[in-house]
Structure 1
Amino acid sequence: MTTSSAMDFDYIVVGAGTAGCLLANRLSANPANRVLLLEAGGEDNYHWIHIPVGYLYCIGNPRTDWCYKTKADPGLNGRELGYPRGRVLGGCSSINGMIYMRGQSADYDSWMAEGNPGWGWNDVLPLFKGMEDHHAGANEFHGAGGEWRVERARLSWEILDSFRDAAEQAGIAPVNDFNKGDNEGSDYFEVNQRSGWRWNASKAFLRPIKHRRNLTVMTGARTTHLEFSGRRVTGVAFIKDGHKHIATAHKEVVMACGAIGSAQILQASGIGAASLLNPLGIPVVHDLPGVGQNLQDHLQLRMVYRIEGAKTLNMMANSLWGKAMIGLQYALTRSGPMSMAPSQLGVFAKSSPAQSRANVEYHVQPLSLEKFGEPLHDFPAFTASVCNLRPTSRGHVRITSPDTNQAPEILCNYLSTAEDRQVAADSIRLTRRIVGQSALAKYKPHEIKPGMVGDTDEALANAAGNIGTTIFHPVGTCKMGHDDMSVVDSSLRVHGIEGLRVADASIMPTITSGNTNSPTLMIAEKAAQMILAG
C-alpha cells in the first residue's frame, strides 16, 4: 500500500457527521484557515436519506450505517442488539428520527457543577438559539435565521391525540414546547425537517459552504490512527481508494466520530488504557483509562397495544392500495406517513413521585412491529416506547484489533443497577396507568408486549430486559471532566495530549434528558468557538 504525505492543513476534522459538518463550517469561515474534513462513508445522495420515512431503509444498510452489534447484554437477558451509527455525510442526522430536543436545563447545570465552567444552561442556550431556524420565529427560547431548521410535525393521529388525553387524565399535562429547559408534559415532537424533507447536518452546514477553497472534504476516507510527535498530535493517517495517506494539521485535530468512533480511533492511536492496548500490540502514547468507558444510552421499552376502531399505520401500509395512497399524498403535499418521524407524540414524565423532575420519555407511535427491520403487524396497534432519561448503568467501547475497519466491542450494560431496574418497573406501571384511562377505553387496548407479566419489581424488570432496545443515543465515552476517568477538559482538549480535541456526543459526562442529536450540534458549536479563540 503506497503512502502519500503531501497534504498540509491547519485543522483536520475526523468524521463528517452531525458535529463534523458544523465544525467544518465554522473553522473554514476564515479563508486563512485550511481545513480538511474526513468521512469514512459516502455522499448523502441516497434518496432514502431525504424522505423522512427512509430511515427504515438507511438503518442496517451498509451504505449509510456502520451496522454495529452490541455484545450480549446480561441486562437484556443475554440478547445482542443492532447498534446503528451513521456512516455517510451528515452521520446520524442522516438516518435518525429527526426529533429536535435539547434536554433539560438541569442536565447542563449538572455538567457545570461537576467542574466544567461554561457548560451551564445559561451558557448553552444562546448556542442552541444561534444555530436555529425555528418555525415560530425568534423569541426568548428560540432563534430564527440559523442553519438548523425546526418545524412542527406534518400530520396527527386520532390514537395519539387520545393517548395525550389519557396522559393528562393520569396527571401529565399537555405543553407546547419541550425545549425551554423543563420538558415535562406531552406534545407532538418538533422535527428537523424543511417542507416535508429531512434536514440533516450536511444540508444545513456543509452543502452551503463546500465551494470554499480553503475547505477540503474527503469521503470514503477511513482514519486508521493519529500521527504524533511525542505527545503532540501532528496529523491523521487514513486510507482512501486503497492508498494510505497522511495529512498534517499545523494547529489542531478535532475528533468528531461520535461515542463509538472517537473512542475507537483514540485507542487505535495509543490513547487509552494500557491494559487494553498492550495485549493488542499498540504502542501506548498516553495511558488514559477513561477512553471508551462511561458509555451511556437510553434504553427504550417498546410496549405494544392492539386496538380497535382507530386508524394506524399497520393497516395503511399492509395493502397495496394503502401504500399507493401514502405515496401519492407525499408526492402531492409532502405530508402523510412518508413525512413522519419514527415517533410523533412525546410525553415526558416522572416514573414515580420520588423523582424530582421528569426522568422518562415516551415516543408514541401509531404502529407496531416485532423488532426494528421487520414488517409491521397485520392488526391495528400503537407502540408506547418509554426510556429512562438518566440511566445509572455504564458500559464501554473497546477495540479488539488495531484495525479500525474491525468493529469494537460495545457493551451497554443496560439495567445493571438497582436504580435502572426500578425505573424500568415503574415505567411499565406508568404506561399501564396511562393506557387504562377512559380516553383510550373506546379503543379496547390489549397489551401485546410485554404482556401480562406479574406486577412485582423483579418480574417487571425482567420483562424490561426482554423488550428493551436501544433508542440510538450512545454518549459519554470520552467524558468531559477532571476525575480519573475523564478524557477531555472543559475546553474539550484531550488530557495529556497537545493539538487534539474531541467535539461530539462522547464528551457528555452524563446523558441529556432527551434525544441527543441537537445537543451534539451545540457541543460542536461551542468547540468551534473555543478552537477559534485559541
Structure 2
Amino acid sequence: MAFSRLIILSAFYSAAYAGSWTEPFEYDYIIVGGGTAGCVLANRLSANPSISVALIEAGPTVFNDSRVLSVSPGGPAWNTELDWQYTTTPQVYANNSTLLYHAGRDLGGSSTLNGMVYLRPTADEVDSWSALGNPGLTWDNLLPYFKKSEHLQLPTEPEALLDTSYEASFHGFNGPVKVGWGNDLNTTGYGRALNSSWQSLGFSWNLDPNSGDTAGLGLFPLEKDTVVNIRSDSARSYVLPVISRPNLHAFTNTTALDVNLDGVGAHHGPRKAVVAKGVNVILPSGKKQFLRSKREVILSAGTYRTPGLLERSGVGNPSVLRNMSVTLKVNLPGVGAHLQDQWLLNVIVNPNFTLESLTIGWNARPLTASLTAADVFEDDLDTVAAQLYKDIPSYARILSEASGGAISVQAQEQILRLRADTFFKKGVAIGAMIFQVFGGNHWVTLPLSTGTVHSSSDPSRPNLNPNFMQLPWDIMVMQRLSQIQRKIFASPEVQAALGPSATVEILPGYSNVPANASLAQWTAFYRASLAPVWHAVGSAGMRRRDWGGVVDTKFRVYGVQGLRIADASVIPLELNGNPTSTIYALAEKAAEDILADCEIGKGKPWS
C-alpha cells in the first residue's frame, strides 16, 4: 500500500479527474523536474514529516524497466519514450548540422540513460567559481556533499579488488548512490597495454581521478549497484527508499507549464516584490491544475528545460520574452544565455565489437584519461598561452554578441581570463579520452565556445544551440588530442591487445585525415563528424547577476522570492569529469540550504 502512494497520482489522473481527489493541491515545496537533482531534493526535503513536498515529473516511473536497469553504456532507453530526443538548431560552425541530444524523460531523468560515469571535476576549477561571485563555493566546501551522496562499493573477489584504484579519504561509503566496480573488473591485457603506451608518452597514472585532480590515466567508478548489477539512478537511489512517506507526492506524467509569479509592478505606486506562488501544470488527464506553494518552488528541470520555464513565467531577457509575447516580470538576461557543452570525435580501430562486448568492456575496464595544457602543447605551451590571452578581447566580443548582449563584453573578458588562468596557472585538465573495445573517443573538457537555449512555441522542443566549434581555441586543443589518441592506438602493444583487426584506423582514417594533416584538414573533418557529449551546463548559471548570473550561491533566483533552481543549469562553467556527480553534490547542498533558510515555524524564507 505504501508503494502506491508514489504511483497512484499518475494512475488516478490518467483514468479521469472528477473532483474526487480530496487532498488540497497545496504543498510546502514544489519541485519541478524529477531528474537527477529533483529526486535528491524530494528525498531530503520530505525527511521532515511536517514538510509536504510535491515532485512534478513529465515522464513515468521506471523502477522495473529493463532498459533502465541495464548496465550497458549503449543507451537501451535512447530514442524511446523515455528520451526527450532534443535536436539542436543548425550548427553554423559545423556545416549547419542538426544534432541529436538524449535526455531522460522519466523519474530519474538523465541518470537513467547516461553512461553511468561517476567522475568529479578538479578542485582548482571548482575553486575558480568563487571569482564568479560565489564566495565560499570551493572544492573543500563541496567535497562533503560529494561524499554524502556516494556509496562506494568494492569488488569482493580478491583479483578484482587488486585492480581497483582509489583514495578512500575522498569517497563516501554510506550515501544513497551506489557507485564502484564489480567482480568483473579486469584491467589486464588491454588496460595494461594502454597504461604502458600512455606512460611511454610521458603521461602519468592517476590513483584516483575523483580526488580533485583528473589529470592522467585512471579508473572511474560506475553508477551501478555492483551487488545486483543494475544501474544506480537518482530515482532508485533517492525516491524508491522513501516512497512510503505520506508527505511526498509525486506527480508523474505531469507537465509543468510555468511558475505563477505574483507582485509584478503596479501601474501606480511602488513596485511590489515578485513572489513565486506555485506552478501551473497539465495532469495526465489533460486537465490544467494549479499547485500552490506555501514556501518555495524549486526548478530542477535541467539545463535544457529550466530556462524555458523561467521565460514562460516572465523571467529572462526582455528581447527573448518580447519575441515570445510574454510579459516581462523580472529582467534577468542571463537566462539561457551561457550554455556550454563538449563535443567529441570517435576513433574506431576495431570493427569487431557488439553491444554485448561493449557492455562487458565498459564494466571491466572503465578507463579515463585527462590531459593538461602542458601535456597537450608541450614545448609550445608558452606561445599558445600568450596567444590565448591576446585573443581574449576578440573572443569576448564574439561571445557577447552571440548571447544577444545578455553578457557584456567586459564580463566575458573577465570570465575568459579566469578560464585561461585555470589552464596555464593552475594546470587543470583541458581534454579527456575514453578507451574501449572499439577504440575510444576524446573531447575538449573546458571549451570556450558558448551557446544558448531558449523556449520555443513547443515547450518540449527548446531552441538549443551549443555553438560547437565557435572559437578557434577549442579546435586547436582538439587537434592535439586527436594526434595523441592516434599515437596510443598506433602502439604495437595496444594493437596486440585489441586483436589482429585493430591494426588499421577506420575512423577518422588516414585517407580522410593524413598523419601530417594540417589544422584546416582536421577542422573540416570535425565539422562533418563531431558528436555532442551531452554534458551541457550553465543555462541558469550561479554567478554575479551583472555577469549573466541567474541564481546566487544559495540557488535563489535573482529578483524572485520563493524560487530556486537546483540542477545542471546552475553549474556556472563547463567542467571536467561528468556532470552527474556534481549535480548530486549541488542538490545535496541546495537541500541543506533550503532547510536551513526555511525551518518550520519561522515563516517563509523571505519574510
For 1:301, the equivalent position in structure 2 comes to 345
Structure 2 residue 268 is matched with structure 1 residue 234:
no
Matched letter for residue 169 of structure 1: S
Q: 1:457 aligns with which of 519, 524, 527?
A: 519
Q: 1:25 aligns with which of 43, 48, 51?
A: 43
For 2:31, the equivalent position in structure 1 comes to 13
Q: Is the 8 A contact 2:44 2:591 kept in 1?
A: yes
Farther off after superposition, 176-185 or 162-171: 162-171
Counterpart CA distance in 2 for 1:24 and 1:466 is: 42
Structure 2 residue 262 is matched with structure 1 residue 248:
no
For 2:7, the equivalent position in structure 1 comes to none
Equivalent residue runs for 1:63-462 within 5 Å: 64-135=82-153, 139-152=168-181, 154-156=184-186, 158-195=189-226, 196-230=229-263, 231-241=274-284, 242-306=286-350, 313-314=353-354, 337=359, 340=362, 344-350=366-372, 351-353=376-378, 354=381, 356-366=427-437, 382-401=438-457, 403-405=458-460, 407-442=461-496, 443=500, 445-452=503-510, 453-454=513-514, 455-462=517-524
Counterpart CA distance in 2 for 1:139 and 1:306 is: 36
Deviations 1:239-298 (A, max 9, x none): 012111110111110000110011111111111111111122212111211111111112
Q: 1:339 to 1:224 in 2, by over 3 A?
A: farther
SS at match of 1:447: coil
For 1:373, the equivalent position in structure 2 comes to none
For 1:53, the equivalent position in structure 2 comes to 72
Counterpart CA distance in 1 for 2:79 and 2:203 is: 35
Matched letter for residue 244 of structure 1: K
Q: Is the 8 A contact 2:74 2:359 kept in 1?
A: no
For 2:555, the equivalent position in structure 1 comes to 492
Counterpart CA distance in 2 for 1:458 and 1:115 is: 38
Q: Is the 8 A contact 1:494 1:502 kept in 2?
A: yes
Q: 2:578 aligns with which of 511, 515, 521?
A: 515
Counterpart CA distance in 1 for 2:342 and 2:365 is: 15
- Rg comparison, structure with higher value: 2
The offset of 1:343, in angstroms, is 8.2
Matched letter for residue 165 of structure 1: S
For 2:392, the equivalent position in structure 1 comes to none
Q: 1:441 to 1:51 in 2, by over 3 A?
A: closer
The offset of 1:77, in angstroms, is 2.1
Q: 1:26 to 1:396 in 2, by over 3 A?
A: same
The offset of 1:396, in angstroms, is 0.6
Deviations 1:285-322 (A, max 9, x none): 11211111111112111122247xxxx534xx6xxxxx
Counterpart CA distance in 2 for 1:189 and 1:173 is: 15
Matched letter for residue 293 of structure 1: A
Counterpart CA distance in 1 for 2:550 and 2:249 is: 28
Gaps of 5+ in 1: 318-322, 327-335, 367-381
TM-score (norm 2): 0.78
Deviations 1:87-131 (A, max 9, x none): 101101100100111111012101112220232000001111122
SS at match of 1:53: coil
Q: 1:18 to 1:55 in 2, by over 3 A?
A: farther
Q: 1:342 to 1:512 in 2, by over 3 A?
A: farther
Q: Is the 8 A contact 1:3 1:246 kept in 2?
A: no
Equivalent residue runs for 1:473-488 within 5 Å: 473-482=535-544, 483-488=546-551
The offset of 1:440, in angstroms, is 2.4
Q: Is the 8 A contact 2:124 2:428 kept in 1?
A: no
Counterpart CA distance in 2 for 1:225 and 1:464 is: 38
Q: 1:183 to 1:213 in 2, by over 3 A?
A: same
Q: Is the 8 A contact 2:68 2:231 kept in 1?
A: yes
SS at match of 2:336: coil
Deviations 1:402-437 (A, max 9, x none): x524x0111111111111111111111111222233
Bigger strand share = 1
Counterpart CA distance in 2 for 1:359 and 1:440 is: 24
Counterpart CA distance in 2 for 1:341 and 1:283 is: 51
Counterpart CA distance in 2 for 1:208 and 1:441 is: 46
Identity rate, percent: 31
Q: Is the 8 A contact 2:39 2:238 kept in 1?
A: yes
Aligned length in residues: 494
Counterpart CA distance in 1 for 2:292 and 2:363 is: 41
Counterpart CA distance in 2 for 1:292 and 1:114 is: 17
Farther off after superposition, 21-30 or 352-361: 352-361
Counterpart CA distance in 2 for 1:358 and 1:60 is: 32
TM-score (norm 1): 0.88
Gaps of 5+ in 2: 1-15, 155-165, 264-273, 382-422, 598-607
Give the RMSD, CA atoms, in angstroms.
2.3
SS at match of 1:428: helix
SS at match of 1:291: coil
Farther off after superposition, 181-190 or 346-355: 346-355
SS at match of 2:25: strand
Q: Is the 8 A contact 2:27 2:292 kept in 1?
A: yes
For 1:329, the equivalent position in structure 2 comes to none
Q: 1:194 to 1:298 in 2, by over 3 A?
A: same
Q: 1:159 to 1:339 in 2, by over 3 A?
A: closer
